[in-house]
Amino acid sequence: MSMTTACSLDCYDACSIEVVDDKLKGVNNPYTQGFLCPHLNHYDQHPRIESPRYKGEHITMDEALQLLENACAKVSTPSQLLAYRGHGNFGLMQEVTDHFFANFGATLTEGSLCDGAAEAGILEGRGANKLLSPEEIAKSEVVIVWGRNIHTTNAHLLPYLKDKTIIVIDPVKTQMAERADHFIQIKPKGDLYLALLLGRFAVINDMVDEAFLQEHAPEHDDYYELTQTVRIKAILDNIDVSLGDIGKVLELVKGKKTVILAGVGIQKYRHGADVMRAIDSFAALLGLFGKEGCGVNFLGNSKEGLKSPFMSKHKTKPVTVGNAEFGRFEMAFIQGANPLNQMPDTNRVQKSLAKNPFVVYFGLYENETSEVADLVIPAKSFLEKDDLRTSYGHHGLLMMPKVRESDIGISEYDLTERLCQTFDIDLESELSYLEHFSSFAEAREDDLLVSGREALPYVDGFETDEEVFCFLEEYELELAEDDDLFLITVKSASSLNSQFKRETKVHLNASHGFLEGEKIKISSQNGELILKVQLDERLRDDCVLIYSGTSGVNVLTDSRLSYEGKNAAYQENKVKVEKC
């Protein structure tokens, strides 16, 4: 028997899956093109948490739920319960737990560990974060891949990029950089200046779209003035970009349908919102918004056009997810997340979790967080419960019906239903929520899309207060001149953040004099860790790379958030390396 569902993982691609004789296969639709990635090809090989546990002892699910209810009932005031939800599963029904916690009066989180800085920049400039679909990207002639590692994180977009002129801007020589028509191996954190200078030279070279600017972006002269504050030679030397690079980019995009694919790499800094705005500003000068085959694609708002049936806000003030103080609460409910590995500043998180008297971990796999939790509740996997999802990479609305029975775990809906019954909170049937979300679907040939979205985003203008594009107006950025190394911490091919097969090494090139496999100490002002070396000639001399999910990586990062967007800023700290 065969059934169709969709991958639940936090990924641009949101693939459709055919389950044939219990095996997972990629569906041959426009997004999935018949293949899945290693995570899903080996999905069933990763050991699950099979039974609930309390203080290390196995217990029944009913006992676990009873303990959960007792703990909720015992907090001195509901806001003393922190509900911390990650995106281990991207399904829309995952948020049903927010409904209970918000009604109960618990403290929820706001902000992001992921894309919040650039999203804040997009909202300021464009008023709404609309995604540019693969179908539109396919109509472009030139693609600028800016801080995004498409072969690893977004492989199903590759067929849409065939035969295009490719420009890559990245400190790492990625697979896409290998095949690019032009590659700028920029110094990390240099993007704001590069974007400002591209804008300035686009004006000098008469490449701006006057008609577009007049109608949609009237403040362009002010922006041009802002770009003139950049001291060209000193800055280009600092960010390791040449005037030739700028000339080459402008020559390649001139008169061409151009798309910029920006990834989270550009915005892992406190000033991340400004970087995105400067990139958007360059695009606006060229008139790239609202035109066929043109635009700027970041992680789009996957919820655009949907209305949540769940209560997710309450008068209790939320805490920011990037620096949540677990220790300030009497209870923490952690769902679909591994904060002890993925949040910045692991040493702080560890101490903070240790101070919390009742930590609940609700997830699929054992990890750093499940290890310290008082109560561990296994979840059902996406194959074992009903859900549906949207994506930040395409407009699909994908059904995720249950395709397997399992005795392991509990679904988010069933757990919520039990809590709502106990605490007398209204909850509708699971089916009615599934139908609610399904009602936002519109049929295309053989798949479903979120209805009402513009196929060509911003074709009717922008959604800012003045309904025009708002250029970046000011910036402040000091570029350090020390000899410390930049920390690049990005996604690996074998893991999905901390799920599946994690990387274990520190990557650097041979110029530092270390040998392959040698153990070295990496330290930042925040902490230190020891890892084995993997020599990696894709890197600049001034960078080390440690993949997301590597045990201990976030000992090096700190809890300061982005200036806008309340986002974690994983690459703000520089590091030193030494023999140990």
Could you say which of 127, 147, 527, 565 contacts ligand MGD (CB under 6 A)? 147
Residues 6+ apart with CB under 8 A from 482: 574
Does 388 engage in binding with ligand SF4 (CB under 6 A)?
A: no
CA angle 541, 547, 548 (to 5 degrees): 140
Question: Using CA atoms, how far apart are residues 448 and 122, in angstroms rounded to an integer?
Answer: 27
Q: Which residues lie near Mo ion (CB under 5 A)?
A: 114
Q: Where are the alpha helices (DSSP H) in 173-323?
A: 175-178, 191-204, 210-216, 220-227, 232-239, 243-253, 272-285
Question: Using CA atoms, how far apart are residues 408 and 137, in angstroms rounded to an integer?
Answer: 42
Cβ proximity of 267 and 304 under 8 Å: no
**Residues facing residue 450 across a β-bridge:** 441
Q: Is the dihedral of CA 314, 319, 320, 326 positive or negative?
A: negative
Q: How far is CA 211 from the centre of its chain?
A: 35
Min dist CB 112 to Mo ion, Å, is 8
Question: Using CA atoms, how far apart are residues 557 and 568, in angstroms rounded to an integer?
Answer: 9
Does 13 engage in binding with ligand SF4 (CB under 6 A)?
A: yes
Min dist CB 197 to ligand SF4, Å, is 35
Stretch that binds ligand SF4, among 3-11, 51-59, 306-314, 448-456 (CB under 6 A): 3-11
- Comparison of 193 and 329: residue with beta carbon closer to ligand MGD: 193
Stretch that binds ligand SF4, among 5-13, 183-191, 238-246, 503-511 (CB under 6 A): 5-13
Token digits of residue 102: 């918000």
Does 157 engage in binding with ligand MGD (CB under 6 A)?
A: no
Which of the listed partners (Mo ion, ligand SF4, ligand MGD, none) does 40 bind, with a CB threshold of 5 to 8 Å by partner kind? Answer: ligand SF4
Does 413 engage in binding with ligand MGD (CB under 6 A)?
A: no
Question: Using CA atoms, how far apart are residues 411 and 418, in angstroms rounded to an integer?
Answer: 11
Query: Cα separations (Å) of 394 from 134, 231, 297, 304, 554?
Result: 7, 39, 10, 11, 30
Min dist CB 74 to ligand SF4, Å, is 39
Question: Using CA atoms, how far apart are residues 228 and 211, in angstroms rounded to an integer?
Answer: 23
Min dist CB 302 to ligand SF4, Å, is 12
| Residues in 16-45 that interact with ligand SF4 by CB under 6 A | 36-37, 39-40
414 CB neighbour count, 10 Å cutoff = 16
Min dist CB 104 to ligand MGD, Å, is 18
Q: Which x/- pattern over 137-166 shows residues binding ligand SF4 (rule: CB under 6 A)?
A: ------------------xx----------
Min dist CB 176 to ligand MGD, Å, is 8
| Residues in 314-343 that interact with ligand MGD by CB under 6 A | 335-338, 341-342
Amino acid found at 142? V
Total residues at the site for ligand SF4 (CB under 6 A)? 12
Stretch that binds ligand MGD, among 157-165, 252-260, 432-440, 497-505 (CB under 6 A): 497-505
Does 14 engage in binding with ligand SF4 (CB under 6 A)?
A: yes
Residues 6+ apart with CB under 8 A from 286: 202, 207, 208, 209, 253, 258
Could you say which of 2, 4, 15, 176 contacts ligand SF4 (CB under 6 A)? 15
Could you say which of 27, 64, 167, 172 contacts ligand MGD (CB under 6 A)? 172
Residues 6+ apart with CB under 8 A from 51: 58, 59, 60, 61, 378, 408
Burial of 268 (0-12, 13-18, 19+ CB in 10 A): buried
Min dist CB 496 to ligand MGD, Å, is 5
Q: Which x/- pattern over 4-23 shows residues binding ligand MGD (rule: CB under 6 A)?
A: ------xx------------
Could you say which of 7, 137, 142, 198 contacts ligand SF4 (CB under 6 A)? 7
Nearest Cα neighbor of 423 from 74, 6, 108 is 74
Token digits of residue 397: 């609305």
Does 265 engage in binding with ligand MGD (CB under 6 A)?
A: yes
Does 398 engage in binding with ligand SF4 (CB under 6 A)?
A: no
Could you say which of 493, 505, 512, 534 contacts ligand MGD (CB under 6 A)? 493
| Site residues (vs ligand MGD, CB under 6 A) | 10-11, 86-89, 113-115, 146-149, 152-153, 169-172, 174, 186, 188-189, 191, 263-266, 335-338, 341-342, 362-365, 367, 379, 381-382, 488-493, 495-499, 548, 553-554, 557, 570-571
| Site residues (vs ligand SF4, CB under 6 A) | 7, 9, 11, 13-15, 36-37, 39-40, 155-156
